[in-house]
C-alpha cells in the first residue's frame, strides 16, 4: 500500500471516533500485551541477532519496560482521561472551568536501533492510551527486531489503526512530508534537527528524545568499590549503546587511582578476562558504528580494553586517561564502550568541564556530601539523572523522561506519555440565569473602580500583605 493511501485510511478511521472510548483503548492495550508475551522467545532471539544482547538485559531493559508501560496505562487510563476541573476567573462567574484530554489524531513514532523493541513500543503504548492512530517507523539498522515488530503489529491491529512502515532514510523523509498530530523521534541530535525542521513545514508538534555527553562526577568521599560497580554496569550495559550511559568521568584526583583499579577489577568480574567470550557482553550494531568507535581510539591513552574484532563487531570495555578536551572522543556522544576519565581538584573545575558541553540527557553524581549533590543538580542543566547510581531514572515510569536543549524536548513514560500524546482542550461552561454586567460597555467610572479592585485581587498574596503593611 502506498503511504498516502495508508494516511488516508488512518484519517478516516480516526474521524469515525472508533479510537476515543476508554474501553476501546484498554482492549487494544490488552491485545498488544498478550501478543508481545506470546512472541517473547522470538524477541530475545531477535535482540541477540541484532545487538548480541544477553537475555537478562533484553528482559530487563526492553520487555519489562514495555510491559510496565502497558500495565500502567491500563490501570490508570480511566483517571488520566477524565476532564480536569480548574478554578474559574471572577469575570466568568458563575461558571465551571475544565480541561479535557483528547487524542491528537494520527501520530508518527520514529524509533532507533539501540533499544529497538522498547523505544518503538513504549511511545506507541502512550499514543494508543491517548486514543490516537499510530504509524511506527522502526530502525532499518536492527532488521531482526524490525521484522518481528512488523509481524506482531500486523497480527494485532488493522493498519488503519496502527501500522508499521519499514525502510531507511527515503521512507522516513517521505513520512515527514505529511502533517501529523504528533511526531515522536528518538535518536541522535543531528537527525533530531532534521526531523524538527521537516515537522516545522507541516506545523506538526514534536517530541525529541536525543542524547549528549553525559558526565559522571565522582567526589573523593565515595565508597570506591560500590561506585566502580555502578559505573561499569551503567556504562557497559547494552555494550554502552545507551543514550543515558555515562559518557565520561570527572573524578576527584584523590580517588582516581583506586577507582580505576576498582573499575578494571569490576570489568573482569562482570565479563571475565576475555569479554569477547562472555555471554553477557553484546556487540556493536553494525560495521559503520564499529569503525567510528575504533577511530576514536587513535592517539588515546588506553588503560583497559581497546582490543577489537571487526568481523564480530566486538569492542572490549575500554577506559581512557590523559585525554584532552579537544580530542575527537569528546566532540560528540560516544555511544559505545569507550570511557574517558578526567580528574579535578575543585568541584568548580569539574562543573566548568561539564558546562562546556551542550546540555546532556543525563548526569550522575557520586558523593556522600548532600550539599554538594544539591549544588551540582542546581547548577548543571541536564534531562535527568541519579545520585550514587546510574540509569535508574529511566526505569521509573512515575518520572518524566526527556532531555533539555540539545538532548531533546518533551517527555514521556507513564502518565507523562499520555499527556504528550494528548491535547488538553480548555472549556468554560456558564448558564443563563446570571451574568456579570461589569464586563460589558458602555464603560463608566463604576467599571473602572471595579477593575481596579479586580487588579488588586490579582496581586500575589505576599505582595498584597506588604502593601497593606506599608499603608499602616
Q: Give the C-alpha separation, 271 to 376, whole Å.
A: 32
User: In the chain, how long is the greatest CA-to-CA distance?
Assistant: 88
Q: Give the C-alpha separation, 206 to 219, whole Å.
A: 38
The predicted model scores a pTM of 0.93
DSSP tally for the chain: helices H, then strands E? 18, 18
Kindly name the residue from 57, 62, 69, 243 that is annotated as catalytic.
243
pLDDT band of residue 462 (cuts 50, 70, 90) is: low
Average pLDDT over residues 300-322: 96
Kindly name the residue from 62, 68, 159, 209 that is annotated as catalytic.
209
Q: For the chain, what is the mean pLDDT?
A: 94
- Quote the strand ranges of 140-190, DSSP E: 162-164, 182-186
- Residue 152: closest CA among 131, 173, 138: 138
Q: Give the C-alpha separation, 393 to 379, whole Å.
A: 19
Active site residue 386: no
What are the start and end residues of each CATH 3.40.605.10 domain in the chain? Answer: 3-210+412-424
Which distant-in-sequence residues (6+ apart) come within 8 Å of 271 by Cβ? 236, 278, 280, 281, 317
Q: The C-alpha cell of 45 is what?
A: 532471539
Average pLDDT over residues 358-370: 97
Q: Which burial class, exposed, middle or buried, applies to 472 when counting CB atoms under 10 A from its CB (0-12, 13-18, 19+)? A: exposed
Q: Give the C-alpha separation, 207 to 189, whole Å.
A: 12
User: What pLDDT is stored for residue 133 in this prediction?
Assistant: 98
Which H or E run contains 125? helix 118-129
Q: How many CB atoms lie within 10 A of CB 314?
A: 20
Q: What is the CATH code for 3-210+412-424? A: 3.40.605.10
pLDDT band of residue 159 (cuts 50, 70, 90) is: very high
pLDDT band of residue 435 (cuts 50, 70, 90) is: confident
| pLDDT per position as a tens digit, 38-95 | 999 999 999 999 999 999 999 999 999 999 999 999 999 999 999 999 998 877 778 8
| pLDDT per position as a tens digit, 234-279 | 999 999 999 999 999 999 999 999 999 999 999 999 999 999 999 9
User: What pLDDT is stored for residue 469 in this prediction?
Assistant: 64
Active site residue 243: yes
Q: Which burial class, exposed, middle or buried, applies to 95 when counting CB atoms under 10 A from its CB (0-12, 13-18, 19+)? A: middle
The phi-psi region of residue 131 (left if phi > 0; otherwise alpha if psi is between -120 and 50; otherwise beta) is left
CB of 129 closer than 8 Å to CB of 77:
yes
DSSP secondary structure letters along 27-77? HHHHHHHHHHHHTHHHHHHHHHHHH---HHHHIIIIIHHHHHHHHHHHHHH
Could you name the CATH architecture of 215-402?
3-Layer(aba) Sandwich (3.40)
Q: Give the C-alpha separation, 205 to 419, whole Å.
A: 13
Amino acid at each position: 500500500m502506498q503511504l498516502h493511501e495508508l494516511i488516508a485510511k488512518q484519517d478516516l478511521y480516526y474521524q469515525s471516533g472508533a479510537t476515543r472510548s476508554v474501553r476501546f483503548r484498554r482492549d487494544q492495550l490488552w491485545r498488544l500485551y498478550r501478543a508481545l508475551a506470546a512472541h517473547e522467545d522470538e524477541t530475545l532471539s531477535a535482540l541477540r541477532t541484532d545487538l548480541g544482547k544477553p537475555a537478562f538485559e533484553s528482559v530487563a531493559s526492553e520487555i519489562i519496560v514495555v510491559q510496565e508501560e502497558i500495565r500502567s496505562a491500563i490501570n490508570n487510563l480511566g483517571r488520566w482521561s477524565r476532564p480536569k476541573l480548574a478554578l474559574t476567573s471572577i469575570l466568568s462567574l458563575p461558571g465551571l472551568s475544565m480541561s479535557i484530554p483528547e487524542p491528537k489524531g494520527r501520530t508518527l513514532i520514529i524509533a532507533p536501533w539501540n533499544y529497538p523493541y522498547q523505544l518503538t513500543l513504549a511511545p506507541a503504548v502512550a499514543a494508543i492510551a491517548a486514543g490516537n492512530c499510530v504509524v511506527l517507523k522502526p530502525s532499518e539498522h536492527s532488521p531482526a527486531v524490525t521484522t518481528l515488530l512488523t509481524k506482531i503489529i500486523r497480527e494485532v491491529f488493522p493498519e488503519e489503526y496502527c501500522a508499521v512502515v519499514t525502510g531507511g532514510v527515503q521512507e522516513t523523509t517521505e513520512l515527514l512530508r505529511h502533517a501529523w498530530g504528533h511526531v515522536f523521534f528518538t535518536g541522535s541530535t543531528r537527525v533530531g534537527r532534521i526531523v524538527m525542521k521537516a515537522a516545522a513545514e507541516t506545523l506538526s508538534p514534536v517530541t525529541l528524545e536525543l542524547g549528549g555527553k553525559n558526565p559522571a562526577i565522582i567526589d573523593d568521599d565515595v565508597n570506591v568499590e560500590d561506585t566502580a560497580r555502578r559505573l561499569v554496569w551503567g556504562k557497559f550495559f547494552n555494550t554502552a549503546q545507551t543514550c543515558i550511559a555515562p559518557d565520561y568521568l570527572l573524578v576527584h584526583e584523590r580517588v582516581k587511582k583506586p577507582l580505576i583499579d576498582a573499575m578494571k577489577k569490576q570489568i573482569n568480574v562482570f565479563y571475565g578476562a576475555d569479554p569477547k567470550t562472555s555471554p553477557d557482553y553484546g556487540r556493536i550494531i553494525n560495521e559503520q558504528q564499529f569503525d567510528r568507535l575504533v577511530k576514536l581510539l587513535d592517539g588515546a591513552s588506553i588503560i583497559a580494553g581497546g582490543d577489537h574484532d571487526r568481523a564480530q563487531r566486538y569492542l572490549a570495555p575500554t577506559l581512557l586517561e590523559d585525554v584532552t578536551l579537544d580530542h575527537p572522543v569528546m566532540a560528540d556522544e560516544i555511544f559505545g564502550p569507550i570511557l574517558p576519565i578526567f580528574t579535578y581538584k575543585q568541584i568548580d573545575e569539574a562543573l566548568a568541564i561539564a558546562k562546556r558541553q551542550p546540555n546532556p540527557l543525563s548526569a550522575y553524581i557520586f558523593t556522600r556530601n548532600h550539599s554538594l549533590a544539591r549544588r551540582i543538580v542546581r547548577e548543571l542543566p541536564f534531562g535527568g539523572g541519579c545520585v550514587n547510581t546510574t540509569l535508574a531514572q529511566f526505569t521509573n515510569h512515575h518520572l518524566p523522561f526527556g532531555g533539555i536543549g540539545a538532548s531533546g524536548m518533551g517527555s514521556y513514560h507513564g502518565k507523562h506519555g499520555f499527556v504528550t500524546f494528548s491535547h488538553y482542550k480548555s472549556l468554560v461552561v456558564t448558564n443563563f440565569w446570571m451574568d456579570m454586567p461589569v464586563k460589558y460597555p458602555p464603560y463608566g467610572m463604576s467599571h473602572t473602580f471595579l477593575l481596579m479592585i479586580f487588579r488588586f485581587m490579582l496581586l500575589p498574596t505576599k505582595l498584597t500583605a506588604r502593601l497593606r503593611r506599608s499603608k499602616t
